[in-house]
A and B are shown apart, each in its own frame.
Chain A
Amino acid sequence: AQSVTQLGSHVSVSEGALVLLRCNYSSSVPPYLFWYVQYPNQGLQLLLKYTTGATLVKGINGFEAEFKKSETSFHLTKPSAHMSDAAEYFCAVSKGFGNEKLTFGTGTRLTIIP
């Protein structure tokens, strides 16, 4: 079975500060890993994904994440927070064999302090 743990249900950072959202996973096979963002009253939007190859993945809106197999982690970072980054962020894992179901973490709500 696969699982995802997101440490910190709420994270607050000042505008311009580093954003770090933590995600650890458990998977019996090499995983595919994803970060999704959910703005209020909107659907989930893919930020970035790791499938194979380079372990540092760059996504939209200046976000990036690094797959660390030894730590079973896939933390999301952004060097400088913007007010528009305030949203709910979800880490997810799939087996990656094909069109496989996603297993999501419980989410982290990011608040940006002006």
Chain B
Amino acid sequence: GAGVSQTPSNKVTEKGKYVELRCDPISGHTALYWYRQSLGQGPEFLIYFQGTGAADDSGLPNDRFFAVRPEGSVSTLKIQRTERGDSAVYLCASSPTSPDEQFFGPGTRLTVL
């Protein structure tokens, strides 16, 4: 079956611009996660959705970052006033109702010039 998909695969933007990153989870998965992976590092948790609501947003670095999942399926990560330090690979993962395994998408590589 289809896995987690993320679009775009690459995004180049200028400092100060607004960007949106999209995640399509595996059909039927109720949990959705966003992580950020900087060069040479492991993924770092950003936010977790259970259904439509954000169950844990403790990893969002500041109020420039925001994520939504209005219908409990597709999610969008929104970054305002981008900074060069936001450059990273943004990973999305989804999980079925039974816990413990997360399925990852290929990521979106964001470059802020």
Q: A residues engaging B (CB < 8 A)?
A: 4, 32, 36, 41-46, 49, 51, 90, 92, 94, 96-107
With a cutoff of 8 Å between Cβ atoms, the chain A residues found around residue B103 in the complex are: 46
Contact between A104 and B99, CB atoms less than 8 A apart: no
Contact among B30, B41, B56, B106 with A101 in the assembled complex (CB-CB below 8 Å): B56
How big is chain B's contact interface, by range?
20 to 34
With a cutoff of 8 Å between Cβ atoms, the chain B residues found around residue A97 in the complex are: 99
Q: B residues engaging A (CB < 8 A)?
A: 3-4, 30-31, 33, 35, 40-45, 48, 50, 55-56, 59, 91, 93, 95, 99-107
Contact between B33 and A101, CB atoms less than 8 A apart: yes
Given contacts A99-B48, A102-B45, A106-B41, contact A44 B104 (CB under 8 A): yes
Give CA–CA (A103, B103) in the complex, Å.
15
- A47, chain B: closest CB distance, angstroms: 11
Complex A-B: 21 CB contacts under 8 Å: A32-B100, A42-B106, A43-B107, A44-B91, A46-B103, A49-B101, A90-B43, A92-B42, A96-B100, A97-B99, A99-B30, A99-B48, A99-B55, A101-B45, A101-B59, A102-B33, A104-B35, A104-B42, A104-B43, A106-B42, A107-B42
Contact between B42 and A105, CB atoms less than 8 A apart: yes
Q: Which 6 A-B pairs have the closest CB atoms?
A: A104-B42, A99-B31, A44-B104, A101-B45, A43-B104, A43-B106
